[in-house]
Amino acid sequence: RALEIRSESHTYPIYIAAGLRHQTADILKGLGKSTFSAVLIVTDETVGPLYAEEVAASFADEQPLYICTLAAGEQSKSMETYYELMTFALNCHLDRNSVIVALGGGVVGDAAGFAAATYMRGIDYVQMPTTLLAHDSSVGGKTGINHPLGKNLIGAFHPPAAVIYDTETLYTLPEKEWRSGLAEVIKHGWIQDPELLKVIKDQWLDLSAVPVDVLNDTIRQSIQVKAEIVQLDEREAGIRAFLNFGHTLGHAIEAEAGYGTLTHGEAVAIGMDFAMKLSGKVLGSSLDSEAYNEEMIRLGYDLTIPASCEPETLLAHMKRDKKAAEQKVRFVLLQEAGVPLVRPVEDDTILDLLKEEMTI
């Protein structure tokens, strides 16, 4: 029942179910590399105390097992933490046959994944996502850390050997983090699978009370959307750009409002709202952004662009974005639900709409 994800180097399974953390060792054994020389669990200070011992307990004493606990939050995607991770791994004598288990959200996944990509020119790692947002990073093979000059600037494509998604762990997430991840699910719905939007509308009335089977199915469907797009476009040349829906303005807002003020998904939710309105102006699409607004507010999102952001600086940021290859900002717009396309948009059109939005 695992989802199979094809990457350039290999195919790997994504297991999604409640309680999988107790079966970690068995799942690893099933990967056909029965003897890992050592296991290094990388986690953070919030997730570690909740789940690391349970993951560790699934292993018999067949091989040495170590736990490395990073500080929680984006700060752990740093050069310093990377260096500490390398030192930790070397001190544990990890070798080319060892495995890193990334137990945590996107931060742990990215940092531990990058460590695995570069330790002795690359060793296996397994992702155990514990946030809803991390369903997004479980496909695509991107790993990396930040530089003071920008996010995710240092990294590698290094797909995991497997993804073990224990959905039971999601219930300890704070609401803000639920919302952050749910925005990416909603994004996948808008760009490819409108059916997902219906499921969320009908069954995600109260975030922390979503039944686990609904959670499993939704995550599975959402991962499938990303997998389809990524598999069609392995190196970000064409349609992978659709995954940037809501992200052009979203990234600008995150940066201008200050990282940590809003979660990634909260900023993307605002960006999707903006991209929908822009789709109306540029393509004449008749998307019901009123309904989008209502639905998002019901789920607890605030779609107002933070007052600390200026329209001009937001635009300047979008033009700096590494994805804006040419002069004009390239936006992912929607012809209709499920039909995205990429269009360069005039600065004035963007500015006018930003100003309109920010004076309401």
Element (H, E) at 6: strand 3-6
Backbone angles phi, psi at 102, to 5 degrees: -90, 100
> How far are the Cα atoms of 29, 221, 244 from residue 234, in angstroms, in the given order?
28, 20, 15
104 binds ligand NAD (CB under 6 A): yes
Has 188 been annotated as catalytic?
no
What is the nearest approach in angstroms of ligand NAD to the Cβ of residue 290?
29
Has 295 been annotated as catalytic?
no
Are 234 and 8 within 8 A, CB to CB?
yes
Closer residue to ligand NAD, CB minimum distance, 70 or 282: 70
Stretch that binds ligand NAD, among 30-38, 86-94, 102-110, 295-303 (CB under 6 A): 102-110
Closer residue to ligand NAD, CB minimum distance, 104 or 340: 104
Backbone angles phi, psi at 251, to 5 degrees: -60, -40
Residue corresponding to tokens 């699910």: 185
42 binds ligand NAD (CB under 6 A): no
Closer residue to ligand NAD, CB minimum distance, 85 or 354: 85
* Helix, strand and coil percent figures for the chain, each rounded to 5: 50, 20, 30
Are 36 and 99 within 8 A, CB to CB?
yes
131 binds ligand NAD (CB under 6 A): yes
Backbone angles phi, psi at 109, to 5 degrees: -60, -45
Element (H, E) at 274: helix 264-283
Has 247 been annotated as catalytic?
yes
Query: Which of 42, 56, 114, 142: binder of ligand NAD (CB under 6 A)?
Result: 142
84 binds ligand NAD (CB under 6 A): no
Q: What angle do CA 176, 179, 182 make, to 5 degrees?
A: 155
Has 226 been annotated as catalytic?
yes
Closer residue to ligand NAD, CB minimum distance, 47 or 354: 47
169 binds ligand NAD (CB under 6 A): yes
What is the nearest approach in angstroms of ligand NAD to the Cβ of residue 70?
9
349 is in an annotated binding site: no
Element (H, E) at 177: helix 175-191
CA 185 to chain centre: 10
Closer residue to ligand NAD, CB minimum distance, 231 or 293: 231
What is the nearest approach in angstroms of ligand NAD to the Cβ of residue 108?
6
Distance CA 197, CA 337 (A): 10
What SS3 state is found at 329? strand
212 binds ligand NAD (CB under 6 A): no
- The DSSP string of 33-51 is ----S-EEEEEETTHIIII
Distance CA 212, CA 218 (A): 10
72 binds ligand NAD (CB under 6 A): yes
46 binds ligand NAD (CB under 6 A): yes
What is the nearest approach in angstroms of ligand NAD to the Cβ of residue 14?
14
What SS3 state is found at 78? coil
Query: Which of 87, 172, 208, 308: binder of ligand NAD (CB under 6 A)?
Result: 172
177 binds ligand NAD (CB under 6 A): yes
222 binds ligand NAD (CB under 6 A): no
What is the nearest approach in angstroms of ligand NAD to the Cβ of residue 120?
21
Backbone angles phi, psi at 258, to 5 degrees: 95, 120
- Catalytically active residues are 121, 142, 184, 226, 236, 240, 244, 247, 251, 264
Residue ranges at the known binding site for Zn(2+):
184, 247, 264
Interface residues with ligand NAD (CB under 6 A)? 44, 46-47, 50, 72-74, 77, 104-108, 110, 130-131, 133-134, 136-137, 140, 142, 152, 169-170, 172-173, 177, 180, 264
